[in-house]
Amino acid sequence: MPPALSLSSRSLRTADSPISYFIQKAIETPGLISLAAGLVDESAFPSAEIAQVVAEMMANPATAKAALQYGSTQGLPALRARVLDRVCTADGVKPSDINLTLGDVVLTTGSQQMLYLLGEVLIEPGDIVLAEAPSYFVYHDCLKSHGAKVIGVPMDDGGMCLKSLEKELIRLELAGELKKVKLIYTVDYFQNPTGLTLARDRRPKLVELAKRFSKHHRILILEDAAYRELRYDGDDITSIKRFDTTNEYVIYTTTFSKPCSPGLKTGYSLLPNDLVAPVCNLKGNHDFGSSNLAQHILNRLLETGAFDRHLVRLREVYRSKRDAMLTAIATEFASCPGVRWNVPAGGLYVWMTFPSGTPTGKGSPLVEAAVSEGVLYIPGNLGHVPNEQGKVPDHEIRLSFGVAEPSEIAEGVRRLRRAYAELETSKRGARESVLT
Amino acid sequence: MPPALSLSSRSLRTADSPISYFIQKAIETPGLISLAAGLVDESAFPSAEIAQVVAEMMANPATAKAALQYGSTQGLPALRARVLDRVCTADGVKPSDINLTLGDVVLTTGSQQMLYLLGEVLIEPGDIVLAEAPSYFVYHDCLKSHGAKVIGVPMDDGGMCLKSLEKELIRLELAGELKKVKLIYTVDYFQNPTGLTLARDRRPKLVELAKRFSKHHRILILEDAAYRELRYDGDDITSIKRFDTTNEYVIYTTTFSKPCSPGLKTGYSLLPNDLVAPVCNLKGNHDFGSSNLAQHILNRLLETGAFDRHLVRLREVYRSKRDAMLTAIATEFASCPGVRWNVPAGGLYVWMTFPSGTPTGKGSPLVEAAVSEGVLYIPGNLGHVPNEQGKVPDHEIRLSFGVAEPSEIAEGVRRLRRAYAELETSKRGARESVLT
């Protein structure tokens, strides 16, 4: 045996992702329908459009050189200009209306890299991040690796409850812990995992709350708008960023992975200006710039309109998949007392709640029955932060309609129903044997 | 004014890159010939080959889906297999001879990301990294941001002096600081910035030294082989990794940026097996995988042989550029007493040493004269770590022949000679005015 490795405290705080178990299950089990992974639809990738823009770029020596040479840490200016325009157009403002310029836009290796960098730039071990309960569990892992404590804020149909958030901030202030609060994290469009969207009227109020409690330092809002462009019903809702008219309190981050292709692994963010240098200095150390070729491809896809044409098609694909899932769930679970589910207007996820006393996590009878029926889901407990007793709600699940075909989705839901029926039967059996 | 941002201690340790000043100069000064940037030759990019492999991949639904979907954190298995084979073939071994498997290979966003991740995984603030003096200054910034102290080890024509390294390790042990030593960092082929290569006979000895001083924990060797494939004279030299037959002490990292295209921003590393999980767990938090499309492109370039055919052409291009630079330097500086330069057998850099008392850094008369003559170099002091008096050698420069055309290279060197001549004249003037 060689002498042991001596790992940093950060490394020791960093565990394998809790979903590795589920990925492994998916790999090991032939015929399994995965409603677990947040992967995206494969039939709808804009492969012909990508082939075309690459062929055009490579055929012209000037554009080929630009795409194949190093880029900059902050990212391709032309693409930064396009995404700034894109977000502001969606919000019905000019960049100058909300104090934004090209210098406030940063491109990253997916939006995940920005989530990581922000934690790295802002979090000291022991600091606090407030997040929806449940929230995007992959980011919880990041925050844990930075040494942050995540406090969950309850949600209702309008997303994060601002009354609860306010109460929590007051509690923290009274406990002398407001100094530790660095971020309020929200996935505010068709949230992962619940599919819920932060209500329109809560958005300016959230900015006001952050301002009001920025007593020791600025408390920033991290608006993770990854799913914003995947809307299937109704009109787009103004971003939280729109209400941060001085560009001081809100970081808006999103990705091309969901509306276009994860293989390009490119995200973009609008940052308060004084946060750009700290973030880019660290990103310079990480990689001095994400894949420049991917940025050039995306720039051309946006420029030619191929991106938006693709998005129209993609929304159709996902709308019908969502409908397939909701129809199947309604058909299969309508008569199950205490089983409820959200009806998302966009995104990739349906959130189901089973009666309490129906654990859904790793090793639970439901997950075991589901896998043996041939369907995989993500347990809801992964998205929750344990309370002071180490407990989390354990009777929820996340279903994704992103990657499976509509027919598979329906079959997957039927398998889930059979798995749940086995539980009901065995519960009833247990009850009856107690009674007799 | 809004309340101040509250930044992490890591962020506060992370400064803008010292080369930003030189990049800015290059942008601001029209007609400037940059012999500064480590950018790569643009005329030699394999753009036709990339267009072709992308067209083929996108035309086949199965390969298009694979390239445009999420990949894995550790990277595309097919590409990992190819690079493992590539390194082992170069070293004349089978992977199993040196205890390597596919599971020990990790793909990253350039090799820079691996350099960063290793610091993150291993370094606690106050820890020590031993590195060549001078060394790759961008990595110094990374290490500083992790809170590491870099100690420089002198070099001679055979690269890092192992006698000096041993002396330093003994000194640290006597001072009770061996516990802090985590890494020995070496750019062992055509080093950035000196162009020097670690001598063949020092390689197994370096592994032995790391083993011998791994008394508290494993001291790892980080072998940065970024330039290995850019050899213009002589035969390839066995890697240090080759002598780590149990795969425990040496991390081998390199990149496709230098031998192919920085726009693809893909690097690869061979890691001691017990380091793979800590590194990948953190990388999962960073981005859960680098650009998958870039990995698929590189995999196909290697598979079809396009990569190796490109590399043959690229070496020709760089060889003639290096020769243009060396010829120009010999012509211009042969009669300058005390001016010396290295003759690199590969890589992108020529290292020049001026007589002491000729400062070359930011704001020095030489750099100012050079910019007004229209040429830019990288000052040598950036590659050095200040000694206890805060001093670094200040009379060296790095010239890169990577990006400029051969005729520009020759003209750039002539401009540098004129800048140096102005200094000599003003010095002589000063001496004469003292004498009279």
In tens, the pLDDT along B104-124 reads 999 999 999 999 999 999 999
- SS3 state at A208: helix
Mean predicted confidence (pLDDT) in B415-423: 95
Put simply, the chain B residues between 94 and 113 with a CB less than 8 A from any chain A CB are: 109-110, 112-113
Each residue's pLDDT tens digit, B246-272: 999 999 999 999 999 999 999 999 999
- In sequence order, the β-bridge partners of residue A246 are none
Instruction: Report pLDDT digits (tens) over A264-293.
Output: 999 999 999 999 999 999 999 999 899 999
Give me the pLDDT at residue A209, please. Answer: 98
- Does A3 touch chain B if contact means CB atoms closer than 8 Å? yes
Q: In angstroms, what CA-CA distances link B410 with B343, B345, B376, B397?
A: 16, 19, 13, 17
DSSP state of B234: S
Interface contact flag, A145 B285, Cβ < 8 Å:
yes
Whether residue A44 is predicted with pLDDT greater than 90 in this model: the reply is no
Q: Can you read off the two tokens belonging to residue B54?
A: 């992308």
Specify the pairing of strand B181-186 against strand B128-133: parallel
Residue reference for tokens 């929820």? A396
Strands in A250-255's sheet, in edge-to-edge order, are A105-108, A267-270, A250-255, A220-224, A181-186, A128-133, A149-156, A159-160
**pLDDT of B435 strictly over 70:** no
| Distance, CA of B395 to CA of B47 (rounded, Å) | 40
pLDDT at A401 over 90: yes
Residue B120 — left, alpha, or beta (φ > 0 → left; ψ -120 to 50 → alpha)?
A: alpha
The 10 Å Cβ neighbour count of residue A414 is 16
What pLDDT score was predicted for residue A431? 67
Q: Is residue B93's pLDDT more than 60?
A: yes
Nearest to B285 among A8, A50, A116 (CB): A116
Give the least confident one: A29-38, A169-178, B274-283, B294-303: A29-38
Q: What is the ipTM of this complex?
A: 0.93
pLDDT above 90 covers a percentage of chain B that reads: 84
The Cβ of residue A113 has, within 10 Å, a number of other Cβ atoms equal to: 30
Encode pLDDT of A67-112 as tens digits: 999 889 999 999 999 999 999 999 999 999 999 999 999 999 999 9
| Residue A434: pLDDT over 90 | no
Range name among A14-23, A288-297, B370-379, B380-389 with the lowest pLDDT average: A14-23
Please write the tens of the pLDDT for every residue from A305-359. Answer: 999 999 999 999 999 999 999 999 999 999 999 999 999 999 999 999 999 999 9
Task: For residues A359-383, give the mean pLDDT.
Answer: 94
Check pLDDT > 90 for residue B1: no
DSSP readout, B150-197?
EEEEEEETTEE-HHHHHHHHHHHHHTT-GGGEEEEEE--SS-TTT---
| Min Cα–Cα distance to chain A from B128, Å | 12
The β-bridge partners of A133 are A154
Supply the pLDDT for residue A126. 97
- Measured between beta carbons, the chain B residues lying within 8 angstroms of A54 are 50-51, 54-55, 58
Does A287 contact B at CB distance below 8 Å? Answer: yes
Which domains occur in chain B, in start order?
9-44+309-428 (3.90.1150.10), 69-305 (3.40.640.10)
The pLDDT tens digits of the residues spanning A205-260 come to: 999 999 999 999 999 999 999 999 999 999 999 999 999 999 999 999 999 999 99
- Rounded-to-integer distance, Cα A57 and Cα A52, Å: 9
Interface contact A2-B248, CB threshold 8 A? yes
Optimal mutation site among B12, B54, B180, B213, interface A, most CBs of chain A within 10 A: B54
- A94 min Cα distance to partner chain B (Å): 22
B417: left (phi over 0), alpha (psi -120 to 50) or beta: alpha
Name the pLDDT band for A114 (thresholds 50, 70, 90).
very high
Chain B CA closest to residue A53: B51
B86: exposed, middle or buried (C-beta count within 10 Å: 0-12, 13-18, 19+)?
middle
Closest CA to B382 of B255, B221, B253, B192: B192
Find where tokens 């055509």 sit: B190
Mean pLDDT of chain B: 94
Q: State whether residue B5 sits within 8 Å of chain A by CB.
A: yes
pLDDT digits (tens, 9 = 90+) for B267-316: 999 999 999 999 999 999 999 899 999 999 999 999 999 999 999 999 99
Chain B touched by A291 (CB under 8 Å): yes
Helical ranges in B288-399 per DSSP H: 292-303, 306-333, 365-373
Residues 141-200 of B with CB under 8 A from A: 141-142, 145-146, 182
Tallying the residues shown for chain B, one arrives at 436
Strand partners, B375: B33
Lowest mean pLDDT among B8-22, B374-388, B412-426: B8-22
Q: State the pLDDT confidence band at A436, using cuts at 50, 70 and 90.
A: low
When the pLDDT of each residue in chain A is averaged and rounded to a whole number, the result is: 94
- Residue A51 and residue B58: Cβ atoms within 8 Å? yes
Of residues A115, A102, A104, the one with CA closest to residue A276: A104
- Which CA distances in Å does A278 have to A46, A283, B94? 35, 9, 44
Confidence of residue A151 (pLDDT cuts 50, 70, 90): very high
Residue A68: closest C-alpha in chain B: B263
A153: three-class secondary structure by DSSP: strand
Question: How much is the pLDDT for A141?
Answer: 86
Question: Which of A287, A300, A301, A405 is the best residue to mutate to test the B interface, defined by the most B CB atoms within 10 Å of its own CB?
Answer: A287
- In chain B, what residues touch A5 (CB-CB under 8 Å)? 122, 217-218, 220, 272, 274-275, 278
A423 has pLDDT over 90: no
